[in-house]
Amino acid sequence: MAVHKKFNRNGKTNALGRGLDALISTESVNTQGSSTINEVPIDQIEANPNQPRQEFDQTALEELANSIKQIGIIQPVTLRQIDDNKFQIIAGERRWRASQLAGLQSLPAYIRTIKDENVMEMALVENIQREDLNAIEIALAYEHLLERNQDMTQEKVAEKVGKSRTAVTNYLRLLKLPAPVQMALQKKELDMGHARALLSIDSPSIQLKLFRQTVEKGYSVRKVEELCKRINNGEDLQEASRKVESKSKLPEGFNVLKERLSSFFNTKVQMTCNANGRGRISIPFASEKELAHIMEVMDKMK
């Protein structure tokens, strides 16, 4: 088998399409990250001179800076590109100022460009209906449609894009997750099911801890849901993890097999097995390149 990418007439990949490219800049800013949420150097960001809020409480900024030092930026700032390597804040000046106090060199940010709104809406609707957009791109598009005018509601957005209101709501809720989780979603390192489970936890710091643990150990959606349920019932993450891990612990022979498969496919293979010997093998991949490698290995097995 082979993995096929979609290309435009110039031979370049075209994952976003012209509509969402117009809303969210895909130009390189000499940073890491993908097209919808990027790590932008702080020295390339400036405040909006038309920002109505001109005074910021220094004590509150220092408290936020201390929080940022401990767990990082939770909610990305929103920027618009005004020149090469120059961005202006649309929303999040307080987070930007506190990040400077915290000594951060870059910030997670949504980058937008401003274009004709009528054309933009048509392009957004067209692109939302595409199947190759990631969850965060879709969520940002829904949010933009809602921000266009005060009369726009989630019901109207759902009607425009041919989706249910519940689906629109679920996508919009993803934008409340910590920035690292959103980045993992758009890179498809995390499933929508994982993200929806994390949303059931109120604490951003616990969300982040469980997210990192999920990526490190390759938890299934069902396991994350069980962990979240235990945490919401009053158990701490460490206690909940111990109980869940003990419950799903594989016999030693299966662990050896799992390690052999992981080495064979060069990815962290997951395996579950119940007392009756029934189970499941999962082979995760973080990119099309990794998937292509897995398929090449399987082709050779023929």
- Chunked mean pLDDT (size 10), the chain, 302 residues: 37 36 36 58 86 71 88 85 85 89 91 56 59 77 78 85 88 92 87 92 92 88 91 89 71 74 82 69 81 86 73
What does the mean pLDDT of the chain come to? 77
* Residue 272 near residue 279 (C-beta atoms within 8 A): yes
**pLDDT on residue 249:** 60
* Residue showing tokens 């220094």: 58
Residues 6+ apart with CB under 8 A from 40: 29, 31, 79, 87, 106, 107, 108, 109, 111
Say which of 62, 63, 93, 288 is annotated catalytic. Answer: 93
Closest among 115, 28, 111, 32 to 76, alpha carbons compared: 111
- The model's pLDDT over 47-59, given as tens digits with 9 standing for 90+, comes to 877 665 656 778 8
What secondary structure does DSSP assign to 269-289, as a single string?
Answer: -EEEE-TTS-EEEE---SSHH
Task: Give the number of other CB atoms < 10 A from CB of residue 239.
Answer: 12
**pLDDT on residue 3:** 38
Active site residue 62: no
Q: Which two tokens stand for residue 50?
A: 């038309």
Q: Which two tokens stand for residue 6?
A: 């979609």
Calculate helix-pair angle for 135-148, 117-128, nearest 10 degrees: 150
Instruction: Annotate 194-239 with three-state secondary structure.
Output: HHHHHCCCCCHHHHHHHHHHHHHHCCCHHHHHHHHHHHHCCCCHHH
* Residue 138 near residue 131 (C-beta atoms within 8 A): no
Give the span between the Cα atoms of 97 and 53, in whole angstroms. Answer: 13
**pLDDT on residue 129:** 60
